[in-house]
Amino acid sequence: MRKKVSILYQISELKNSIITLYVIVICIMALTIILPWGKFDPSFDYYNSRFNGLEIITAIFLFIKGTHFFKNDFMMLMQNSVSRKSIFISKCYVIFIVGFAMSIIGNLILVIGNMIPNKNSINIFQGIYDMLFHQRVMQYSDFRIFFESLLFSFVFYLFFYCFGYLFIVIKNQMSRKLKIILITAISSFFIIILPFINALSNNKINDILLRSLNIALGISSGNSFALMLTLITIMIISFCIIYYYIQRAVFAD
Amino acid sequence: MKEGIIVESVFKKYGDINALNDINIKLEYGAIYGILGRNGAGKSTLINIISNRIFSDKGRVSLNGVSVRENDLALQDIYVMSEQKYYPPKMKVKDLIYWTKKFYPSFDLEYSKEISSLFDLNWNKTVESLSTGYSSILKIVITLSINVPFVFLDEPVLGLDINHRDLFYKSLMKRFKDCKNTFVISTHLIEELSDIIEKVILIKQGKVLIDESKDTLLERARKVTGSKEIIANYIKNEDIIATENSGDIYKAYLLTNTDYSGIKDITIEKLGLQELFLKLTN
C-alpha cells in the first residue's frame, strides 16, 4: 500500500516537469516545420533544418530528475514513515514507468512530426536510434524499426535516470574518504596506469579495450541490442550500489 | 498483546560522542509523554531511532514485539513531527494534506479543516511561503489530524506566539481525549507543558535519568531549606539532586518519599517540573 502511494506520489511530482518538457519540444518542432515556409531570415538556411535532439533532451531531463532524489522525494517519503526498502522499490517502478511512457511519447512525437508535410518533404525529425544505427534502420521495415527504436529509447532513458539516481546517492551517501579514493583510483587508472600498461604491451591493451568497447556499444556492427545489453548491465550494477547506500541513508538533521 | 513501543539497550555514537548510552524505555498506549533534556542530550536522536530515521549502533526498538526497523507495517503506526520542515517547498498546503492522507489513510480530513481554520492556516499557500510560526502550525495541523497510535512531536511550538501555543495545548488535549493516541513531546518549554504531560522521560548526556509518572515524580521532588547542620543530618541517605549554599542558608533538592513536615527549623517546598529539571540537568 505504501509502495503504491510512494509510486503515485513520485510520478505526480514529475508530471508538471514532463508536460513542460514536451510543450517546449513540440514548440521547437513546430518552429522547425514552420520556419522554412516563412523565410523569416533570408541569410538562414531553413531548408536543411533538422531536429534530432529529442532523446538527448529527454535523457538529460531524466538524469537531472534522478539527481533530485534527495531534494524532495526521499524527505517526503521518510517523513511519511516509508521504509528505505519501499522507497528503493518504488523508485525503481517510477524509473521504469516514466522511462517507458516517455519512450512511447517521444517516439510517437517523432513519427507524427515526420508525417506532417514540410517544405523539404523529408524526415526532419531524426531519433537517436536512426542516428546511431542508420544502416540497421535502412535494412528493416518501418514497423520493426519503430519497436526497436522504442525499446532502445526506453533502455536509454532508464540508463540516464538510473545514472542520475546513482550519482546523487554516491554524492550524498558515500563517505568523503571513499569518494577521494574512488576519484583518485579512477583518475590514476586512466591517466597513469592504463597508458603505462599499454606502453608495455605495445598498444595491445588499447586495441583490446577499443575492440571490447566497440562490441559492447554495437555501433560499428550496427547491433543495437549489444548497446542495450551493456546499458542494462551497467544499470543492474548501479541499482545494487544504490540499494546498498539507500539502506544506510540517514534522515535527520 | 499490545505492549507499545519498547526501546531495549539502545546505543548510538557519533564519532567519540555517546549520543545514547544504554537506553531502555517503554512507551505505552494512551498516554502523553514528555521527553525532556538539554540541548544535545539525545532526545531527537532517540526519536529518530524509534521512527527508523537513523539506526542505532546496538539495541532494538519494537512495537508490540515486532521490530520497527525498516518495517512499513509497524512504521505506519508511528508519526513524527520534526523540528525541521521536510516537505517539498513548492507544494501547496492542500496538496500536502492530500498526500499525507494517502500515506496515512486514518488521517482525519474534517478535523484538519477544522483545526486549520482555528489556526487560520491558508491551504492555498506553498510550504516555502509560510513563516516560521505557520510552518509549525502546518506541522501541528498534519500531526494532530493523523490518527495513529504513536505520535512524536519534536519541539512542536517552535516560533509560535503565546496565543497559538495556548491553542495548540488545548487542541492537543482535546485530540488526546477523543482519540487516546500516545503523544510523545520533546520540548524545552517545560513549564508550559507540565500540566499536559503524564509521564516524564528525562535524558541527560545520553542516559535516561528519570522515567516515571509526572505526578509520582513531583510528589517526591522536594526543596529543603534550613541550616546546613540540621539538614545534613536528615538527608544523608537521600537521593540528593543538588545543593545550594548561601551564607547560613542551605538548600537541598531531593527526590524522596520521606515526610519532612513537622521537623523544626527546616522548610519543605514542592518542586515544579521546570525547577526539578534545572537541578537535575545543571
Facing residue for B72 by CB, picked from A79, A82, A252? A82
Structural domain includes residue A202: no
Tell me the per-residue pLDDT of B182-225, one tens digit each, with 9 for 90 and over: 999 998 888 888 889 999 999 998 999 999 999 999 988 888 88
Q: Which of B128, B145, B44, B43 is nearest to B86 (CA)?
A: B128
Domain assignment of residue A165, given as a range: 1-11+50-173+238-252
Residue B192 lies in a domain: yes
Whole-number average pLDDT of chain B: 91
- Which domain does B263 fall in, by range? 217-281
Question: Would you say residue A191 lies in a domain?
Answer: no
Is the overall model pTM greater than 0.90, yes or no?
Answer: no
| Domain count along chain B | 2
Inter-chain residue contact B79 with A5, CB threshold 8 Å: no
The grid coordinates listed for B156 are: 512542536
* Contact check, Cβ <8 Å, B76/A2: yes
Q: Residue A162: what pLDDT?
A: 94
Mutate to test the interface with B, among A81, A86, A175 (most CBs of B within 10 A): A81
Can you tell me the mean pLDDT for B142-155? 95
Assess contact for B137 and B127: CB atoms under 8 A: no
For chain A, say whether B71 makes contact (Cβ under 8 Å): yes
The residues on A that touch B, with CB distances below 8 Å, are 2-3, 5, 8-9, 13, 72, 75-76, 78-86, 247-248, 250-253
Quote the radius of gyration of chain A (alpha carbons, Å).
22
What are the cell numbers at B149?
497510535
Cβ burial, residue A172 (10 Å; 0-12/13-18/19+): middle
B212 belongs to a structural domain: no
Given a contact cutoff of 8 angstroms between Cβ atoms, the answer to whether B28 and B182 are in contact is: yes
Q: Is the ipTM of this complex over 0.95?
A: no
Instruction: For residue B84, give the CATH number of its domain.
Output: 3.40.50.300
DSSP state of B126: B
State the nearest Cα–Cα gap between A87 and chain B, in angstroms. Answer: 10
Q: Is the per-residue pLDDT at B238 higher than 90?
A: no
The count of C-alpha atoms lying within 13 angstroms of the C-alpha of A17, restricted to the half-sphere facing its C-beta, is 15
B241 shares a domain with B144: no
Domain boundary among B205, B226, B251: B205
Cβ–Cβ under 8 Å, residues B142 and B96: yes
Reported confidence tier of residue B138, pLDDT bands at 50, 70, 90? very high
pLDDT by residue for chain A (253 residues), tens only, comes to 789 999 999 999 999 999 999 999 989 888 887 777 666 665 666 556 667 788 899 999 999 999 998 888 999 999 999 999 999 999 999 999 999 999 999 989 888 887 877 666 666 777 888 888 877 778 888 888 889 989 999 999 999 999 999 999 988 888 889 889 988 998 998 898 888 888 888 888 888 888 888 888 887 777 888 899 999 999 999 999 999 999 988 887 5
Q: Which residue, among A98, A105, A155, has the nearest Cα to A129 in the 3D structure?
A: A155
Specify the 3-state DSSP secondary structure of A118. coil
Say if the Cβ atoms of A252 and B44 lie within 8 Å.
yes
Q: Considering only CA atoms, which of B82, B58, B53 is closest in space to residue B69?
A: B53
Question: Quick one: pLDDT at residue A137?
Answer: 78
**Cβ–Cβ below 8 Å for A81 and B52:** yes
Domain finish residue from B205, B239, B257: B205
Same domain, B130 and B242: no
- CB A250 to CB B55 under 8 A? yes
Tell if the CB–CB gap between A9 and B86 is shorter than 8 Å. Answer: no
Residue of chain A minimizing CA distance to B139: A79
Cβ of residue B44 closer than 8 Å to a chain A Cβ? yes
Q: Does B14 touch chain A if contact means CB atoms closer than 8 Å? A: no
What CATH number does residue B254 fall under? 3.30.70
User: Which of B205, B237, B259 is the last residue in one of the domains?
Assistant: B205
